[in-house]
Amino acid sequence: MPIYSVVVILAIVEGHAWRLSPRVSGYESVEMARYVELRRHTDADGDVLTQEGVRAATEIGARLDGGYDLLVSTGAQRATQTLACFLAALGERVPGGVVVEAGLRSEREERWREAYEKAGSGALEAMRAADPEFVEADSAALGAALGRVLDALPDGGRALVVGHSPTNEAAVLGLTGEIVGPISKGAGVLLVAGDQGFRMESLD
């Protein structure tokens, strides 16, 4: 009996787009949405993953749904190494390969650390209260970079992005205006961009 592996199917029914994905059973209307899975890198020592970080990244990679059109790193070694572990465990071809969007890595990381220390918390809302002008400005720049990732996707396309905290959360704020809670190592959010705007789901 032949075995068929279906990653994504798109169909047009009465002018609407429908997608069959590994996340759902059956067809769901997605209005030709685009998907960005935004994750934080796993445990690292400096800019290199620890053994625990490699182990965690390969375990997460084996659980990913797949069907990605593009993989994106901030350019930091720990982010790119996490992506490599994800892909090694996932074991599938990604048409767009791995690219770097340097705009998803803040050029003012020391200022983020200062905001964290002033706020006494890694929550973006607390850091925004501690240094509102900086957080708003840098979030806008990071959000623009996240928007460029979305723009690179075809209708129905999916990207896997590995970055950092709190700049992942800041990018979401800059693009959507919404606050998400602190993202733990290896975890993230699924950002869905459709005709009606954005929606998000938490990812373990």
**Model confidence over 68-81: pLDDT tens digits?**
999 999 999 999 99
Q: How would you class 144 by CB atoms within 10 Å of its CB: exposed for 0-12, middle for 13-18, buried for 19 or more?
A: middle
**Model confidence over 45-54: pLDDT tens digits?**
999 999 999 9
**Model confidence over 102-159: pLDDT tens digits?**
999 999 999 999 999 999 999 999 999 999 999 999 999 999 999 999 999 999 999 9
The string of DSSP codes covering 151-193 is HTSPTT-EEEEEE-TTHHHHHHHHHHS---PPPPTT-EEEEEE
| Spatial CA neighbour of 170 closest among 204, 122, 202 | 122
How high is the pLDDT of residue 32? 82
